[in-house]
């Protein structure tokens, strides 16, 4: 009897832990961030198991992103950027995240000028903030960029690599998945009241409404998670009682 209850307790505990652990999901819509980080939109990128969460404020032309991907090896790197000319690597204004020599996640900016070598540099866009994180084999780049006024779409390019030596990300593979990792991100129908550039936008109210919708998204997925956990708990508890 007692051991039955102990078994039941640990089984339930396992189920709870399993459902609460915030691991990376297979689609961006079920990925969540810490309390004050919310994005209005997300895109499952078509290659390299990568994801982009983003909020575009058309009134200010600011784009906030979280890029998630797994480096090709634990000591590798992940990269995301915007190419002002075409969706190709050369010319991309990019962020590359990796572990520095002390093992601390860092993100640096690179104006990619060649396929062979890269050098850290400022970007043509003003970077309002950036940071990198790593957990459970997934690296995350968070950044806010100031884009030119009336931007509707951007060419985005992303990549993963397996090594960093002397603080320098090494060249990535040229497998099909590595060559497909580029595309166009359509910002025009982003939250915050759409992107009709000709309409006069009230910046104050539009940014407030984008924050609001972000909160609702986070809230409802949290409720869903709690319900799933509760259901699993009741199921196991019920099965346990039947066995007694």
- Give the residues lining the site for ligand NAG (CB under 6 A): 40-41, 111, 113, 121-124, 186, 189-191, 202, 204-205, 211-213, 215
Placement of tokens 């051991």 in the chain: 3
Helices (H), ranges, 169-202: 176-179
- Please, which residue, 181 or 201, has the CB nearer to ligand NAG? 201
Q: How far is the CB of 115 from ligand NAG (least distance, A)?
A: 13
Among 45, 20, 54, 11, which Cα is nearest to 214's? 54
- Please, which residue, 11 or 212, has the CB nearer to ligand NAG? 212
54 close to 185: Cβ distance less than 8 angstroms = yes
Helices (H), ranges, 146-202: 176-179
126: tokens are 């003003």
- Please, which residue, 41 or 70, has the CB nearer to ligand NAG? 41
Q: How far is the CB of 179 from ligand NAG (least distance, A)?
A: 22
Contacts of 188 (CB under 8 A, 6+ apart): 152, 153, 194, 195
Q: How far is the CB of 160 from ligand NAG (least distance, A)?
A: 23
Placement of tokens 């309002």 in the chain: 128
- Please, which residue, 173 or 222, has the CB nearer to ligand NAG? 222
Contacts of 155 (CB under 8 A, 6+ apart): 82, 83, 84, 85, 86, 87, 88, 182, 183, 184, 185
- Please, which residue, 87 or 240, has the CB nearer to ligand NAG? 87
Q: How far is the CB of 215 from ligand NAG (least distance, A)?
A: 4
Q: How far is the CB of 58 from ligand NAG (least distance, A)?
A: 11
Q: How far is the CB of 121 from ligand NAG (least distance, A)?
A: 5
Q: How many CB atoms lie within 10 A of CB 18?
A: 11
* Segment holding 144, helix H or strand E: strand 138-146
Q: How far is the CB of 119 from ligand NAG (least distance, A)?
A: 9
- Please, which residue, 83 or 190, has the CB nearer to ligand NAG? 190
- Please, which residue, 95 or 236, has the CB nearer to ligand NAG? 95
22 close to 126: Cβ distance less than 8 angstroms = no
């Amino acid at each position: 009897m007692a051991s039955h209850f102990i078994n039941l307790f640990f089984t339930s505990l396992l189920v709870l832990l399993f459902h609460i652990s915030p691991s990376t999901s297979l689609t961006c819509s079920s990925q969540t961030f810490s309390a004050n980080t919310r994005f209005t939109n997300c895109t499952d990128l078509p290659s390299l198991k990568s994801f982009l969460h983003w909020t575009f404020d058309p009134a200010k032309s600011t784009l906030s992103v979280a890029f998630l991907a797994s480096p090709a090896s634990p000591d590798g790197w992940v990269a995301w950027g915007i190419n002002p000319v075409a969706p190709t690597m050369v010319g991309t204004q990019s962020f590359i995240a990796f572990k520095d020599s002390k093992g601390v996640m860092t993100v640096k900016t690179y104006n990619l000028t060649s396929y062979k070598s890269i050098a850290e540099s400022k970007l043509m866009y003003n970077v309002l903030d950036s940071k990198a994180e790593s957990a459970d084999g997934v690296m995350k780049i968070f950044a806010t960029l100031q884009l030119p006024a009336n931007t509707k779409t951007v060419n985005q390019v992303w990549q993963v690599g397996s090594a960093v030596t002397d603080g320098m990300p090494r060249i990535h593979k040229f497998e099909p998945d590595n060559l497909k990792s580029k595309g166009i991100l359509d910002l025009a129908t982003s939250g915050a009241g759409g992107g009709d550039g000709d309409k006069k936008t009230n910046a104050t109210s539009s940014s407030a409404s984008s924050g609001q919708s972000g909160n609702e998204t986070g809230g409802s997925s949290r409720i869903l998670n709690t319900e799933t956990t509760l259901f699993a708990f009741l199921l196991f508890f019920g099965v346990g009682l039947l066995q007694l």
